Amino acid sequence: MRFLVTYFEPFGADTENASREAALRSIPHLHDMVLPCEVEVTTVMLPVVFARAGKVLAEAVERIHPDAVISIGEAGGRSAITPELQAFNENLARIPDNAGAQPHGEPIIPGGPDIAVSPVRVADITRAINESGIAAETSQDPGRYLCNNVAYRVARLAVPGIFIHVPALRTVGTATVGAETDAPPAPQPAPLSDTGRASLPETVCSAPLGESAAPVLPRCARTFDDLGLGIAAAIAELARQVAKGR
């Protein structure tokens, strides 16, 4: 089963985007997931540019022919991973994009529906992330910036797709982008290179529960590796949904 997983380039004054780390670090965690079949993941970076993000997404779908799509963005003030239930046909930018454009309410697709709802079982995606040990909450509002733009397009693809926000963690310091940015995230290990795996930290997983053990509550993501674990759980759950639908 082929998955397309997209993430965003850095934007504003920041040099990192947590969506990239979440996407890249999800792949090693898939080896520990219960999957309905072999899953092949291709990752693609989207530009933070209103005029180009949708085109790059469409070209990736045409080239890869995925069975499912997960697009990832970051939300500054969210401490949980938040799968998005829906998106809105509106581009509204608090700050300019990386090409200097700052739309003020123009539609993403003229004549398209006001709201596009994800065709997947979003509640089950949220549940799967929580069961992996990483806190997740279903969101009904992805904002109106590039994340919403891509979420709207993903919801309207011919294959199952979902947009997921991750907390805007940083290697050092705090994210300066994202309308919700408010809580300082913890310092992170150095970002993972696109080709190298040696810099990955050891996976931190809860031990299996015994019959008398108390349930382990999901924890807020504190590291890039936590984000990868959560996204891997989302991929595994969506793979199950797609397999059952065939």
Residues designated catalytic: 84, 147, 165
Residue whose tokens read 């739309």: 103
Q: What secondary structure does DSSP assign to 154-193, as a single string? A: HHTSSS-EEEEEEE--BSSS----STT--SPPPB-PPPPP
Q: CB burial class (10 A; 0-12, 13-18, 19+) of residue 211?
A: exposed
- DSSP codes, 120-167: S-HHHHHHHHHHTTB-B--BS---SSHHHHHHHHHHTSSS-EEEEEEE
161-167 and 68-75 beta bridge pairing = parallel
Eight-state DSSP code of residue 31? G
Question: What does R_g of the chain's alpha carbons equal in angstroms?
Answer: 17
Taking the C-alpha atoms of residue 81 and residue 62, their distance in angstroms, rounded to an integer, is 28
